[in-house]
Amino acid sequence: MAPVDPHSFTESTQPATTDIALTLYFDFPSSTIHASALFTLQTPHSGPFFLDTRSLTIHSALHADEAIPFSLSTTSDPIKGTLLTLTLSNHSSFILTFSTSPSSSALQWLLPPQTCNKTHPYVYTQCQAIHARSIFPSHDTPARRIRYSAILNIPSELSAVMAANHVTRRPPRDDDAASLASLNLNWCSQDRVVEEFVMEQPVPPYLFAFAVGQLGNREVGPRTRVYAEEGSAVLDSAAKEFEGTEEMIREGEKLFGEYDWERFDLLVLPPSFPYGGMENPKMVFLTPTVIKGDGSGAQVVAHELAHSWTGNLITNKTNEHFWLNEGFTTYAERRIVEAVQGEKRATLNVGIGWRGLNEEIERFKDNLEFTKLKNNQQGIDPDDVYSQVPYEKGFQFLFRIERQVGRSAFDEFLKKYIAKFKFQSIDTDTFLDFLKENIPGIEKQIDLVLWTEGTGIPSDAYEPELIVYKTIVSLANEAATGRMPGEDEVADWQGQEWELYLDNLPKSIEASQIVALDSRHKLSESKDYEVKVSFLQRAISCGCKEYYGEVEKTLKAVGRMKYLRPLYTALVKGSEEDKVFAKRVFSEARECYHPIAQSVVVSIFSKHM
Ligand SMILES: [Zn+2]
């Protein structure tokens, strides 16, 4: 017996699940889902059969009304969760009934006051990296792919979306819920409705996704609708921000080949959503902070779109090869941005990434393993080592290959790579073998082992050379001598230029300069959270107490980890007073964060306090 993934109990000797048919009853007052799942296995199996679970209560395991013995392990692994073992006797299918817990790590249940409209409750998922197991028992590893269908029973004033095809919305029927009969649910009550979905393409479980709330939508393209809370201002501004989506899909197709998922819809979530975006197939999830009014939010959409090929079609086998998802996607994102918004925007994007990569290498200086593209995550929680390394070092590696072989040869290679491995989960060695086979001699031109297994940043990585980038970086460096940019120099700056400037300010900058910069350019009040947070992070490091009110407001307004991480980290690295402040704000804001974000903040605290 051998586990296929350090983050899962899945055994290589046991058959894969090919299909799961889910029936889900949403009980908002108790923040619980009562559910059943019909599993279909690839081959019949006898003996122990392992599934991943976390904080689930298992009520029964059945095959044609006959009970199947099962047990949950008495101790839980802090990372993998609780092992569910079924004892099968030549079974190729079975039905489990179970309930989630209010503390399910994938789910955030929002009370009406925590939503934009403040009138209806809301629940949404975030399953990456290893949280699908807190919604349903599964082989929760990207090494295994499943098809699924789902029947969602929800309050009739709400609607549901999924990263799947919508089949119908209809009144509930008794026969929907035969497998849930023992739970005595109000399945067919007047105030309930059923929404049905089906996902016909096999996907890794981390791409399982739904949201239930008072949702509305706007059509923005032939295969794209934008969803957000009905009647909220977000819906209109999102429709405007993302009106260029179809053009990006066509660019993606030029680069990678046909778009295989039919729909590319976008769901803008409440501000507590922990990521910038999540590439859930057919229905990308987005934070409202990407709506900036200047079209730059489209870059996050370009990233999630690129995942339709790299990540969703070709998937990393385990999180130890996460760069195969994120490095390729970051590379593709920048190619799409370059085609749609021009070289300048793409270069600024590379420059911000370059700075971010250097900071991450610094962050991991005592744990260099996580500066490697291919790394060892035995006993490691993937959420704890989430960083820009797989994104930016992965991008650098692929861009290094592009520079070596030329763009058209690399484009041809990319198309071949997608066609060869689509709907498969692969590891770094599989990619390298394919690379060497298709670009003979590449290993003599680029040190592939150093790039994939070495720590830090190889010396043949690329810092942008474009003049727009260099001008901003040298302006930032001049702050060491006290010089601040003049009005004329920043007149046409957008968020990215400011972000790049702030990220490159020297560490030695003084509090008085920070204050002067803000009184001239109002960065602490920027509506662009990238700029605002980058500024506030600097303000905290310089001990500018006058901005702590704004820091608190920000930490309470959004739950995106990209902002929580730097702000809380800057605070806990500061004075005793800063630490007390951080703890108080977290205790007051905590409920507004998704469980994944909550545990990331807890882990920042435990590392530094
Ligand atoms: Zn990504």
Segment 343-394, tens digit of pLDDT: 999 999 999 999 999 999 999 999 999 999 999 999 999 999 999 999 999 9
pLDDT at res. 267 = 98
Average pLDDT of span 177-188: 93
Residue 314 Cα to ligand 1 middle (Å):
13
High-pLDDT (> 70) share of the chain, %: 100
Q: Which two tokens stand for residue 509?
A: 């900058």
The answer to whether the annotation marks 522 as part of a ligand binding site is: no
Please give the C-alpha separations between residue 191 and each of 24, 52, 167, 380, 529, in angstroms, as whole numbers: 16, 34, 20, 44, 40
The answer to whether the annotation marks 561 as part of a ligand binding site is: yes
pLDDT at res. 22 = 98
Residue 322 Cα to ligand 1 middle (Å):
10
The answer to whether the annotation marks 279 as part of a ligand binding site is: yes
Per-residue pLDDT band at 298 (split at 50, 70, 90): confident
Please say whether the beta carbons of 559 and 594 come within 8 A: yes
d(CA 428, CA 347): 27
Minimum mean pLDDT range among 6-10, 72-76, 297-301: 297-301
The answer to whether the annotation marks 248 as part of a ligand binding site is: no
d(CA 484, CA 518): 11
Residue 349 Cα to ligand 1 middle (Å):
14
pLDDT at res. 135 = 98
The answer to whether the annotation marks 404 as part of a ligand binding site is: no
Residue 543 Cα to ligand 1 middle (Å):
33
pLDDT at res. 293 = 80
Residue 296 has pLDDT above 80, yes or no: no
d(CA 181, CA 550): 51
Give residue-wise pLDDT tens across range 552-607: 999 999 999 999 999 999 999 999 999 999 999 999 999 999 999 999 999 999 99
Residue 510 Cα to ligand 1 middle (Å):
35
Give residue-wise pLDDT tens across range 429-470: 999 999 999 999 999 999 999 999 999 999 999 999 889 899
Residue 304 has pLDDT above 80, yes or no: yes
Average pLDDT of span 321-338: 97
Domains in the chain, ordered, with CATH? Answer: 17-213 (2.60.40.1730), 219-308 (3.30.2010.30), 317-453 (1.10.390.10), 467-607 (1.25.40.320)
Q: Which two tokens stand for residue 394?
A: 């992965």
pLDDT at res. 116 = 87
Residue 276 Cα to ligand 1 middle (Å):
9
d(CA 237, CA 181): 44
Residue 569 Cα to ligand 1 middle (Å):
23
Residue 62 has pLDDT above 90, yes or no: yes
Residue 323 Cα to ligand 1 middle (Å):
9
pLDDT at res. 351 = 95
Please say whether the beta carbons of 499 and 523 come within 8 A: no
Give the angle 488-491-494 at the CA atoms, nearest 5°. Answer: 150
Residue 273 Cα to ligand 1 middle (Å):
15
d(CA 239, CA 226): 6
High-pLDDT (> 90) share of the chain, %: 95
Residue 114 Cα to ligand 1 middle (Å):
27
The answer to whether the annotation marks 400 as part of a ligand binding site is: no
Residue 141 has pLDDT above 80, yes or no: yes
Per-residue pLDDT band at 312 (split at 50, 70, 90): very high
Sort strands 57-63 and 265-268 into parallel, antiparallel or unpaired.
unpaired
The answer to whether the annotation marks 283 as part of a ligand binding site is: no
Residue 380 Cα to ligand 1 middle (Å):
20
Q: Rounded to two decimals, what is the model's pTM?
A: 0.97
The residues annotated with a catalytic role in the active site are 304, 391
Residue 77 has pLDDT above 90, yes or no: yes
The answer to whether the annotation marks 297 as part of a ligand binding site is: no
Give residue-wise pLDDT tens across range 400-433: 999 999 999 999 999 999 999 999 999 999 999 9
The answer to whether the annotation marks 303 as part of a ligand binding site is: yes
The answer to whether the annotation marks 521 as part of a ligand binding site is: no
Q: State the number of CA atoms in the 13 A half-sphere of 211 facing the CB.
A: 25
The answer to whether the annotation marks 206 as part of a ligand binding site is: no
The answer to whether the annotation marks 392 as part of a ligand binding site is: no
Mean pLDDT taken over the chain: 96
Cα 115 to its chain centre, rounded Å, is: 21
d(CA 184, CA 263): 37
Residue 297 has pLDDT above 90, yes or no: no
Residue 279 Cα to ligand 1 middle (Å):
7
